Structure 1
């Protein structure tokens, strides 16, 4: 029984990582995308049904808006989710005694693509 519980936990963690990847794709494109388009933008080998399930979960959580496009739905991040994420980061900075340490831990947790995007934003002054 313990083995099943561990497996569920691993599946949840993988699902959370996939949710983050899907949100990153949707934010980067900046326009509504169908499940097929999201699937094409992700790593090869990911099942369409898996992408559709995760999109449905994100919509149910209120992180995505969806609109009917033909027989499918197109998804886009709710603007409030970006604001909420920014506010969470600001709260973490405000609570920390050493703001530089909080920022350093955040940057160390980024994958290379996100780190490069952050560096580009900082360099451009946006």
Structure 2
């Protein structure tokens, strides 16, 4: 995801997939699907940076913190798309190109959203 490093993106993916706030130990376990598992201290540093950047919230539980995303994956993606459009010299052309390349499911979700009808999930 734009604005995030590779490990930051992986940590955010684990957090978005969880309904609960996660400890650093939980995050390390969630990242342990690859052959190379990051060290506890590395994940602690990454999640601290995510907190400083506003990507996660943290709550103190005992002597450690539990982390959860500060916004949904859809909200974060929307913010990034908005940033891209704001930086574009021709945002309408970008939107039209995106609409032309959208799948039928995505076009239907746009129609529902623009007509005020229900969720796009």
- 1:57 & 1:98 partners in 2: Cα distance? 32
Runs of 4 or more consecutive aligned structure 1 residues displaced over 3 Å after TM superposition = 90-94, 98-105
Residue 74 (structure 1) aligned to one of 66, 69, 72:
66
Q: Counterparts of 1:87 and 1:36 in 2: how far apart (Å)? A: 29
Structure 1 residue 101, shift from structure 2 partner: 4.5
For structure 2, the residue ranges without an aligned partner over 5 or more in a row are: 110-119
More helix by share: 1
TM-score by length of 2: 0.62
User: Whole-Å Cα distance in 2 between the matches of residues 49 and 104 of structure 1?
Assistant: 45
Q: Could you tell me which of 9, 14, 30 is aligned with 1:20?
A: 9
- Write the distance in 2 (CA, Å) between the matches of 1:69 and 1:56: 16
CA contact (8 A) 2:15 2:68 kept: yes
- Larger of the two Rg values belongs to structure: 2
State how many pairs are aligned: 99
Shift of 1:46: 1.1
Query: Displacement of 1:80 after TM fit?
Result: 7.4
Q: Provide the TM-score with structure 1 as the length reference.
A: 0.60
